[in-house]
Amino acid sequence: MNYFVLVCFIVIISGVLFFKLDSSSQRSFFGYRFYSVLSNSMKKTKPEQQGNFIAGDMLIVKITPPEDIKLGDIMTFYPKTKEENYVTHRVIKVIPPKKRGEISHFITQGDANNLADDEISGEQVVGKVLYTIPKLGLMMTFVQINIVKIIIFVLFMWVAIALLRYSVSK
């Protein structure tokens, strides 16, 4: 069990470092992106709703072309500008392209929101939510904020354990 926790911790730290050091806004891990949920806009409000999540959860989003997004999908997209803020809401309307070669547009809404979002272009789409991992977003955010402190702490502990083992073996 201890090795499993250590491997999970190393994978999370490695992932955070990978994303911290990559300055591209299009970064992904084999076509998947990971997001921490910051609000409760997708909290379940009806028993029949599927795929809901709350603040503190982690989302695994598969990069998806806009033509593969359907009504009812939960998708992540850039708001008006390509900033570091993303929105993940349910598609409530697909507006097909008017001419061949154009891209669909979408209307989305958070399940817990009273109003729909502004219309977005398919160019703003990042992808569809495939999985939600409850509460792991809290840990991911903590690691992102404290990565240097965590690395120093882990290195210090590793050296301390190595020194203790060396002194015990003498």
Q: What pLDDT, on a 0 to 100 scale, did the predictor assign at position 100? A: 84
The answer to whether the CB of 95 falls within 8 A of the CB of 107 is: yes
Q: What pLDDT, on a 0 to 100 scale, did the predictor assign at position 162? A: 82
CATH class of 2-169: mainly beta
* Rounded average pLDDT per 10-residue block, the chain, 170 residues: 68 66 63 89 89 90 94 92 79 91 92 94 93 86 79 84 79
Q: What pLDDT, on a 0 to 100 scale, did the predictor assign at position 121? A: 92
| Residue boundaries of the structural domains of the chain | 2-169
For the whole model, what pTM was predicted? 0.74
Distance CA 130, CA 115 (A): 24
